[in-house]
Structures are given as structure tokens and as C-alpha cells.
Amino acid sequence: MRYTGIVWAAALVGLILAGGCVERKLTIDTTPADAVVWLNNEEIGPAPVSVNFNWYGDYKVRIEKGGYEILNTHRKLKRPLHDYFPFDFVAEVLWPGKITDSYQWSFELAPAKIVPAEELIQKAQQMGEELGRENQNAGGHAAAENPPSK
């Protein structure tokens, strides 16, 4: 009788130790391909790229590729039911197999806008004129308070 109890206890411990596992994977692809992807300010590589993750929630996404506009955005990964208590205990500890959460995000990059040099110079001159008018309206106090150093 005592031997049976030890066998049951060993079987229960073995079942718990060999229990569940949740694998979380996020794949990001871009159009065009090979754009460099950052998640939460950490470079993860050129797209398409897959990474394992540990938590759900808001992710900061940055994507860059030469000749295209830089994309800065946020995306959310919503928690599935098996990530809430008490289901998380069952999924992580008691479930006999592996649970895989796979997510895929796709992003399309816009071609970079090439602004002619003349247009940039014109905008800079306009901004300079506006700044000069603001200084005149302020009575030139900013210039008097901060004379250029020699």
C-alpha cells in the first residue's frame, strides 16, 4: 500500500514537470522585403523576421529601408484566454502538450518623397523670415539678452 502511494506521488510530480509549455512567436513581414525592423527600440533584423516574446501588450514598431519613408507605429498583441488566471496555470503547468501562439504583422512602406533642393531652401528662407518677424514683435529682447559670443 505504501509503495502504491509513492508511485502515485512520483507519477504526479513527473506529470507536473513534463507539463505544459506555451511558445509565443511573432512574425513581421514588410513590402518591400528586407526592411530593418525594431521592436521596442531593439533591432530584430530584416523582414521577414520572427521572434519569440514573453508578454502581450503594446509594442513600438519601427521599420526602415533606404528609398522608403521610415515607419513608426504601435501594435497590440491581445492576450488569449489561456493567458488569464486560472487558465494560465493549466496551460503553463498542467497541459501535457505545447501550446503555440503565432501572430503575423504585415507592413507596407511608402516610397520616400524626394524634395528638390530649391524647395528646401525656399522653406528655410520662409522660416527665417517668420523668425525675424517674431523677434521684431518681441521687441528684439531675445537678441539683446543673448548676444553672440566672440
What are the chain's domains?
Answer: 2-108 (2.60.40)
pLDDT at 7: 60
Residue 8 has pLDDT above 70, yes or no: no
Q: How many CA atoms lie within 13 A of 120 on its CB side?
A: 5
What gap in Å lies between CA 132 and CA 90, rounded to an integer?
A: 68
More confident residue, 31 or 149: 31
**Average pLDDT of the residues in 89-117:** 84
pLDDT at 23: 86
- Comparing 20-24, 87-91, 121-125, 132-136, the range with the smallest average pLDDT is 87-91
What gap in Å lies between CA 43 and CA 36, rounded to an integer?
A: 7
Residue 6 has pLDDT above 80, yes or no: no
